[in-house]
């Protein structure tokens, strides 16, 4: 890691002492990731076009989406690749919490890539079997959580938002809960990714909030003052979150309406897996329901739609996920997107309030 080498020279150049501060590395990581994404973006999108990695549009979707057919997909790779350089330069890769987060993020991204590739190669929206995809996601999540618990004594307690003294010790059952949070978040983000810029901004907002949680959770004095669980080493996830936020903003530059590129499953699953892992590591498993409220509602709209149709033969919504319901109801795409962004900001504010309201 470059920052460790620079810090080792602090005896000769005292200014290099700044690299031992997480806050400094967080800002540097952010700008490194953002400008790399912005610089690589046009070249990356052109390569996707040359390889004919175009998006397939579902036949039963809104007719206004037909014009989006062929727009380059798999843009999530742009975000992931933009985080690689900050990861190597400014983040401690020997930290087990960082290693765990990277494995889940890239593992889920690889599953998403297979899904995207099958869709592109077969020119349909089917992709990878849902059962195989879930098996892979749960397998990766469970293995990583087992590693953290068995090898690094990871905290297996469950805390309840707004209640400081309500704590449940789950032991190894925590692997099940943690895996559900990670996999659930990943697939909820995946379902939200249906309009230009709709998913990436709530991801950025959630990542920013969880990055703050990572910093305060990893700082013993602050955690003690706020009466929240202290997780040693969690602060090192803050610069990683900054790199993800930067990659997301860089991606949004090209994904904003009308989108030049879509993130694809490689993006939505990896980013959702990242958010879920951050929520688990910072001990905000249940709070993720509030913070990721937009993702939760999108997922619930699909679940209730399917359940209603199977049980009664009737649909609750004009189309699921719910953003398509609003589209078919007459709202413009941009109005839906911006309103969902506003809701995400409000939910983030409520989530941050739990730091004191306990």
- pLDDT tens-digit readout, 338-356: 999 999 999 999 999 998 7
Backbone angles phi, psi at 159, to 5 degrees: -105, 155
pLDDT of the residue at 358: 62
Q: Measure the CA angle with vertex 134, ends 235 and 290; round to 5°.
A: 45
pLDDT, one tens digit per residue, over 180-198 is 999 999 999 999 998 889 9
pLDDT of the residue at 128: 86
Query: Do the domain assignments include residue 115?
Result: yes
| Residue 250 in tokens | 């860089």
The C-alpha atoms of residue 107 and residue 110 are separated, in whole angstroms, by 5
C-alpha distances (whole Å) from 186 to each of 73, 122, 124, 209, 351 are 18, 24, 22, 17, 19
Query: Do the domain assignments include residue 48?
Result: yes
Question: 160: which strand partners?
Answer: 163
**Helices (runs of H) and strands (runs of E) counted in the chain:** 14, 2
Query: Do the domain assignments include residue 56?
Result: yes
Say how many domains are in the chain.
1
C-alpha distances (whole Å) from 292 to each of 62, 241, 277, 350 are 25, 16, 13, 11
The sign of the CA dihedral 218, 223, 224, 228 is: negative
Confidence of residue 124 (pLDDT cuts 50, 70, 90): low
The C-alpha atoms of residue 108 and residue 271 are separated, in whole angstroms, by 8
List Cβ neighbours of 93 (8 Å cut-off, separation of 6 or more). Answer: 1, 87, 99, 102
* Neighbouring C-beta atoms of residue 97, cutoff 10 Å: 25
List Cβ neighbours of 74 (8 Å cut-off, separation of 6 or more). Answer: 48, 53, 113, 116, 117, 120, 262, 263, 264, 266, 267
Q: pLDDT > 90: what percent of the chain?
A: 71
Query: Do the domain assignments include residue 188?
Result: yes
Lowest mean pLDDT across 10-24, 204-218, 243-257, 295-309: 10-24
pLDDT, one tens digit per residue, over 73-114 is 899 999 999 999 999 998 999 999 999 999 999 999 999 999
Q: What is the mean pLDDT of the chain?
A: 90
- Given a cut of 90, whether residue 122 has pLDDT beyond it is no
Confidence of residue 270 (pLDDT cuts 50, 70, 90): very high
Q: Which of 346, 266, 323 is nearest to 61 (CA)?
A: 323
Query: Do the domain assignments include residue 337?
Result: yes
Q: Which of 202, 300, 199, 210 is nearest to 259 (CA)?
A: 199
Backbone angles phi, psi at 10, to 5 degrees: -65, -25
Query: Do the domain assignments include residue 347?
Result: yes
- Given a cut of 60, whether residue 66 has pLDDT beyond it is no
Cis upstream peptide for 258 (omega within 30°): yes
Query: Do the domain assignments include residue 176?
Result: yes
Confidence of residue 125 (pLDDT cuts 50, 70, 90): low
pLDDT of the residue at 274: 98
The region that residue 154 occupies, defined by phi over 0 for left and psi between -120 and 50 for alpha, beta otherwise, is beta
Provide the CA 244 distance to its chain's centre, in angstroms.
8
C-alpha distances (whole Å) from 74 to each of 237, 280, 321 are 25, 27, 21
Range of the domain at 246: 2-353
If DSSP codes are grouped into helix, strand and coil, which group holds residue 273? helix
Query: Do the domain assignments include residue 358?
Result: no
Q: Which of 152, 260, 159, 263 is nearest to 204 (CA)?
A: 263
């Amino acid at each position: 890691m470059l920052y460790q080498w620079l810090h080792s020279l602090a005896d000769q150049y005292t200014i290099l002492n700044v690299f031992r501060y997480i806050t400094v590395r967080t800002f540097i990581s952010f700008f490194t990731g953002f400008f790399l994404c912005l610089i690589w973006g046009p070249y990356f999108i052109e390569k996707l076009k040359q390889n004919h990695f175009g998006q397939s549009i579902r036949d039963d979707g809104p007719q206004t989406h037909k014009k989006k057919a062929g727009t380059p997909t798999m843009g999530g790779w742009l975000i992931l690749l933009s985080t690689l350089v900050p990861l190597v330069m400014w983040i401690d890769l020997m930290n087990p919490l960082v290693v765990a987060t990277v494995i889940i993020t890239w593992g889920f991204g690889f599953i998403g890539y297979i899904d995207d590739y099958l869709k592109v190669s077969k020119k349909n929206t089917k992709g990878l079997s849902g059962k195989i995809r879930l098996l892979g996601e749960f397998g990766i999540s469970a293995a990583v959580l087992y590693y953290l618990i068995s090898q690094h004594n990871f905290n297996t307690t469950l805390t309840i938002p707004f209640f400081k003294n309500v704590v449940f010790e789950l032991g190894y059952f925590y692997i099940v809960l943690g895996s559900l949070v990670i996999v659930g978040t990943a697939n909820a983000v995946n379902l939200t990714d249906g309009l230009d810029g709709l998913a990436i901004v709530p991801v950025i907002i959630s990542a920013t909030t969880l990055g703050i949680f990572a910093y305060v959770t990893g700082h013993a004095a602050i955690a003690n003052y706020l009466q929240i669980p202290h997780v040693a080493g969690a602060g090192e996830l803050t610069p990683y979150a900054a790199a993800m936020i930067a990659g997301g903003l860089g991606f949004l530059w090209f994904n904003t309406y009308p989108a030049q590129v879509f993130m694809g499953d490689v993006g939505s699953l990896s980013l959702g897996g990242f958010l879920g892992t951050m929520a688990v590591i910072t001990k905000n498993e249940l709070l993720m329901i509030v913070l990721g409220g937009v993702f939760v509602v999108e997922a619930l709209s699909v679940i209730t739609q399917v359940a209603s149709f199977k049980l009664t033969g009737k649909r609750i919504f004009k189309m699921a996920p719910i953003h398509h319901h609003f589209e078919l109801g007459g709202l413009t795409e941009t109005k839906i997107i911006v309103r969902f962004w506003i809701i995400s900001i409000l939910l983030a504010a409520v989530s941050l309030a739990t730091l004191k309201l306990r």
